[in-house]
């Protein structure tokens, strides 16, 4: 092979190697790009979930330390949880309860107020603040927070009854509370009446649905009997259906038509029997069949 041929071969080989190397690099960077996009799209929810779990872990450790009387440790755990999310009313409430247990009443009150600042509907804090002020001798504010605990709660909340019991003891001090409690009890009775009415309506709807289902089953059975010209059995099924849904015009009409078919069938049998007996010379028997035919009075509105 000549030197020129060798140089050309080396040049081609270098070119192919460069293309291969370029493709390999492109494939590598493509994978890096996919991984980067995946990380950007899905890492934030994962972080949020992990952060929330860490907060709950710190709270759980704080509760455990608090139960064991390790108040400083519990305070540290609650503070760590709070540092991860400053908008968690329950953690401020945890700190308020703990500070009361530690005798730090001023800090306890501030933590309770912070909890309500973050979330006005965090109900546990209203109860805690009410007792805080009761222990401090500020009965007016205690009554205020007990009332708010009641007014912001669902009537079935068990803590509502506890708050009402506390408020009853305040009536001799604050007579206006009596009227407020009477109004609340009246609204509660109205609520209970409304709930009971809804329950009765729901029960009635269930019964009606079941009656409709059973009635329709009887109608289908009656239709099968009619196809076999078993009209007595069909009428019995229609009667069952009407016992479930007595005001159904459709079923009433079905029964009327089935009763007419039954009379038509009976009249035809008697007519055929009378004609057969007459042709056989059995005049007396034939007359008896005719008499029975005449007793079958057509009635467009067949009654049950």
How does pLDDT run across 193-252, given as a tens digit for each residue?
A: 999 999 999 999 999 999 999 999 999 999 999 899 898 998 899 899 999 999 889 999
List helix spans (H) across 228-248. Answer: 231-244
> What is the number of H-type helices and E-type strands within the chain?
11, 0
Residue 103 domain-assigned (yes or no): no
Which whole number is the average pLDDT over 16-20? 44
The residue written with tokens 């991860």 in the block is 84
Which whole number is the average pLDDT over 15-34? 47
pLDDT above 90: percentage of residues in the chain? 61
Q: The pTM is what?
A: 0.60
Residue 101 has pLDDT above 50, yes or no: yes
Residue 177 domain-assigned (yes or no): no
Residue 224 domain-assigned (yes or no): yes
Residue 197 domain-assigned (yes or no): no
Residue 38 has pLDDT above 70, yes or no: no
Residue 222 domain-assigned (yes or no): yes
Residue 83 has pLDDT above 90, yes or no: yes
CB neighbours of 261 closer than 8 A, spacing ≥ 6? 226, 229, 231
Please count the structural domains in the chain.
1
Quick one: pLDDT band at residue 17, thresholds 50, 70, 90? very low
**First and final CA of the chain: distance in angstroms?**
117
Quick one: pLDDT band at residue 270, thresholds 50, 70, 90? low
Quick one: pLDDT band at residue 88, thresholds 50, 70, 90? very high
- Residue 60: the pLDDT is 96
Q: What is the mean pLDDT of the chain?
A: 82
Which DSSP symbol is given to 245?
Answer: S
- Residue 9: the pLDDT is 41
- Residue 35: the pLDDT is 43
Cα distances (Å, whole numbers) of residue 52 to 2, 16, 45, 80, 84: 74, 54, 10, 12, 9
Residue 136 domain-assigned (yes or no): no
Domain range holding 230? Answer: 203-295
Residue 253 domain-assigned (yes or no): yes
The residue written with tokens 């709950």 in the block is 56
Quick one: pLDDT band at residue 278, thresholds 50, 70, 90? low
Nearest C-alpha neighbor of 115 from the set 199, 148, 30, 123? 123
Which DSSP symbol is given to 85?
Answer: -
- Count of other CB atoms within 10 angstroms of residue 276: 13
Q: What share of the chain is helix, strand, coil (3-state, %, to 5)?
A: 85, 0, 15
Residue 182 has pLDDT above 60, yes or no: yes
Residue 289 domain-assigned (yes or no): yes
């Amino acid at each position: 092979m000549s030197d020129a041929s060798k140089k050309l071969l080396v040049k081609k080989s270098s070119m192919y190697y460069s293309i291969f190397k370029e493709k390999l690099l492109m494939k590598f960077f493509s994978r890096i790009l996919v991984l980067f996009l995946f990380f950007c799209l899905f890492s934030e929810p994962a972080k949020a979930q992990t952060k929330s779990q860490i907060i709950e872990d710190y709270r759980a450790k704080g509760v455990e330390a608090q139960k064991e009387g390790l108040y400083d440790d519990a305070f540290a755990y609650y503070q760590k949880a709070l540092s991860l999310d400053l908008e968690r009313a329950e953690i401020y409430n945890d700190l308020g309860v703990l500070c009361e247990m530690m005798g730090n009443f001023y800090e306890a009150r501030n933590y309770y107020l912070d909890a309500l600042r973050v979330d006005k509907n965090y109900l546990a804090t209203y109860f805690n603040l009410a007792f805080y002020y009761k222990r401090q001798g500020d009965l007016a504010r205690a009554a205020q927070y007990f009332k708010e605990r009641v007014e912001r709660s669902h009537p079935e909340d068990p803590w509502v009854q506890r708050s009402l019991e506390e408020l009853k003891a305040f009536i001799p001090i604050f007579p206006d509370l009596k009227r407020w409690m009477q109004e609340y009890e009246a609204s509660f009775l109205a609520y209970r009446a409304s709930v009971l009415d809804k329950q009765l309506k729901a029960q009635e709807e269930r019964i009606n649905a079941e009656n409709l289902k059973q009635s329709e089953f009887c109608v289908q059975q009656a239709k099968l009997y009619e196809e076999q010209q078993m009209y007595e059995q069909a009428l019995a099924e229609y009667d069952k259906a009407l016992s479930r849904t007595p005001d159904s015009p459709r079923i009433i009409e079905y029964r009327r038509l089935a009763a007419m078919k039954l009379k038509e069938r009976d009249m035809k049998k008697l007519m055929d029997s009378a004609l057969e007996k007459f042709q056989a010379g059995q005049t007396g028997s034939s007359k008896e069949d005719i008499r029975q035919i005449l007793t079958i009075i057509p009635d467009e509105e067949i009654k049950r």
